[in-house]
Amino acid sequence: MRGNNIMGIIFANLHEDLVSSLTDVRIMGAVPFGGKYRLIDFPLSNMVNSGINKVGVLTKSNYQSIMDHLGTGKAWDLSRKQGGLFILPPFTNSNDYSNRITTLNSILPFLQNSTQEYVVISDCDTVCNIDFQDVCRKHLENNADITLVYKRDVLPEKLHAPAVLSFDRNGKVIDVLITNNVEGSCSFYMNMLFIKRELLIELVNKCVSKNTLNFKRDILQVEYKNLSVYGYEFKGFSQVITSMNDYFNANMALMESEVRADLFNSDHPIYTKVRDDMPTKYGLGSKVRNSLIANGCTIEGEVENSVLFKGVHIGKGTKVSNCVIMQDTKVGANSSLSYIIVDKDVTIGDEKTLMGTLSYPPYYSKGSVV
């Protein structure tokens, strides 16, 4: 299957209420991650690496940061005359941008005017590196109408309305439960699917005409009985961001070499907007252990098991451990930071002690002064 016969749709704004501290000033897709990335970089790069060269990004009202990050799509080779990157702001008067069917209905002209035969749909709140060409091959082998990407694991505690799937021996879906009440491992839908474009349009029109507007209940739960719906098991590293703890743990997981090798696979790289910075400067007496340090930082103190984004300054005598510190934050001298999340452009003064725990990392909002 040629990648240019597949188009992508990314929901960049769903489930923001679960990490409202991070999404007060940005949408979910624009949340910084891993030192230099945004969450949208992962589904967008996955699509581009799979040969998809037409991608629509669905946004909501506070989409300035995502537009600034994506630009023309040049960083993902999507600045082109045919296909390319499309920012799709809300076209309706509805304030419910979390409703997938209503949102898809609002972009029906975009879907109808496209020529690709298939559509890949993905959210932005799952960090993973997946090859959608493999999903496509599985879809064609099964002669499926819909292929759902799922993970076999314990349900994330706060996953929004999880769809738990059951299969027959051939991998065909035979039951869909929407429930959090599952003990142990299960096969839960990762909010990624592969479907024919015309079928997607037909299903959206059908739901809108009947005012049945819940995507999982009114499409997945109903249509698996009428259509050929199969699953594709994703076995690589993935982390669904359903809470601030999940966000913190996902960043901390990058300390493990196995996770980095899987997530940042050189054969399927994760692309992002490039900001030209000087190399990081390490002062006399500075110490850095088991950390991810982006370009443009100045480190005069000690950093351990932490993720530092671009332009972070760590003052002399300061000790930072198990922290996520975002872009252009300044930390003064002789301070101690442990198990905290610090947003962009925060100023932390001299001789401050900020401490959290693994189960409760405190968050310091963008532009604040401590």
Confidence of residue 241 (pLDDT cuts 50, 70, 90): very high
Q: Would you say residue 80 has pLDDT above 90?
A: no
Full set of structural domains in the chain with CATH: 3-263 (3.90.550.10), 281-364 (2.160.10.10)
Identify the pLDDT of residue 94: 52
pLDDT at 133: 95
Give per-residue pLDDT as tens, 354-370. Answer: 999 998 999 999 999 98
Average pLDDT over the chain reads: 92
Rounded mean pLDDT of 246-257? 95
User: What is the arithmetic mean of pLDDT over 287-306?
Assistant: 96
Confidence category of residue 180, pLDDT binned at 50, 70, 90: confident
Measured distance CA(277)–CA(83) in Å, rounded? 31
Confidence (pLDDT) at 277: 80
Q: Give CA 56 to chain center in angstroms.
A: 15
**Per-residue model confidence as pLDDT tens digits over 8-64:** 999 998 888 889 899 988 889 999 999 999 999 999 999 999 999 999 999 876 778
Q: What's the mean pLDDT in 164-191?
A: 91
pLDDT per position as a tens digit, 319-333: 999 999 999 999 999
Tell me: the pLDDT tens digits for 334-346? 999 999 999 999 9
pLDDT digits (tens, 9 = 90+) for 54-78: 999 998 767 788 888 999 899 999 9
Q: What is the mean pLDDT of residues 281-289?
A: 94
pLDDT number for residue 82: 85
Query: What is the mean predicted confidence (pLDDT) over 129-147?
Result: 96
